[in-house]
Every structure is written in structure tokens, then in C-alpha cells.
Homo-oligomer: A and B are copies of this chain.
Amino acid sequence: MTDIPVLQTRALRCERDDRELFAGLNWCASAGEIWQIAGPNGAGKTTLIRILAGLHGFYDGSFTWPQWLQSDADPREKLLYLGHKAGLRDELTPLENLQWWLALHAQQADPMAALAQLGLAGYETVPCASLSAGQKRRVALSLLWIVDKPVWLLDEPFTALDADGVTLIEERLRQHAASGGLVIYSSHHRFDDAVRHVRLGGKQVELA
């Protein structure tokens, strides 16, 4: 790990429906860190993560990924984004859904082991429509075991999970940070003292 930050934002500001969600966000995140984006409903957590993922372009200020700027690569090469919605088509099985994702990310991997690890053994070839909300979430989260990307952007990764699932994911996030990755997730749930946070929704953005 160098000390060049992975993510650097400069005076990031976003407004939606004539309401300022956040402003003056100067935020520096380095490899090996876990960041929680916190704040009440409607504070702009999802919006911020979507901005970082390159999905939302209506903001002022700027952000860069300095560790890779030199290489002039597409930041998407380095990003794994999991949104609010699980992103699974109900008509397809978990396996089929994951295979399409892998093709999009041009990665080769076998999802079976990851699915089994998440307690989905036996469900690999059942249409997602007949999975419960928590099971769907697990399918989406299995990407954390399958796809190899340094930066993770996770929007509410813990929703719909039971206590076991939450522990499992927490463990995986820690592990990823320990191996030099960067985790940014939005949630009300802070699972570790080492987790740093960006708090939106107050008068000023709070970084700690």
C-alpha cells in the first residue's frame, strides 16, 4: 500500500429536488479502510454511492481515484457496486444471474462455492422468484466472494439479512480491508470501532 489515497473528493456537492443533500465534501479514503456512509432516510446516502459508482452525474465538485489515475484505466475496472435493489431477474436462477454478471465483468469464476458458503447450496438452479428477500440479498452478496475488485461500493448491504448473514458479511468486509481493499457501504449499522464514517443529513457533512 502506498500512501496515495484510493479515493479523493474535492468540494463534492449534490442537490436533488431543490434540496441540498450534502456540500463541501472533502473526503480521502485509503486502501485498507472501511467507510460507513450514515445519515437518516433521504439524507443522500444512496445518491453519494451512486455518484462514486459513476451512475449519477449531477453533482458539483469532483472526485478521483488517484491510485489508478496514472494507469488511465476505466475506474469501473476497479469497482464492485451492489445497489439497493439486488439486481436479480426473478425469472433466472441465481447461477444464471451470476453468470451474466461475470460475463459483464469479463471474469471467470465458479459461483457454486460462494453460493454454498452463503447457505444457498441447493438453491442454485431455482428461479430467484421463489427465494425470500434475504436469500436474494445473499445471492447478490455472493459476488463479494466471486469477483476480484479492490473497491467495494455497497448500498445497504445488511438489509434483509438475519444475524448469521450479517456476521458473515462483516467478516468478509474486514477481510477485504485487511487484504488492502477499500470498502464503502451505506447503512445505519456500524459493526466495528475501526469503521470510519461519513455522516450526511446534518448541517455539515461529518467525517470521522
Report which of B19, B42, B130, B133 forms a contact with A42, defined as CB distance below 8 A.
B133
How many identical subunits does the complex contain?
2
> A162 — nearest CB in chain B belongs to which residue?
B40
A41 at interface, CB cutoff 8 A: yes
Chain A at the B interface: SS class: loop
Min C-beta distance of A131 to chain B, whole Å: 10
Q: In the complex, which residues 10-55 of chain A have their Cβ closer than 8 Å to any Cβ of chain B?
A: 18-19, 41-42
Report which of B19, B41, B132, B133 forms a contact with A160, defined as CB distance below 8 A.
B41
Chain B residue contacts of A42, Cβ below 8 A: 132-133, 160
Chain B residue contacts of A18, Cβ below 8 A: 130
Chain B residue contacts of A133, Cβ below 8 A: 41-42
Query: Complex Cα distance A42/B41, Å?
Result: 19
Question: Which residue numbers of A lie inside 8 Å of B, CB to CB?
Answer: 18-19, 41-42, 130, 132-133, 160
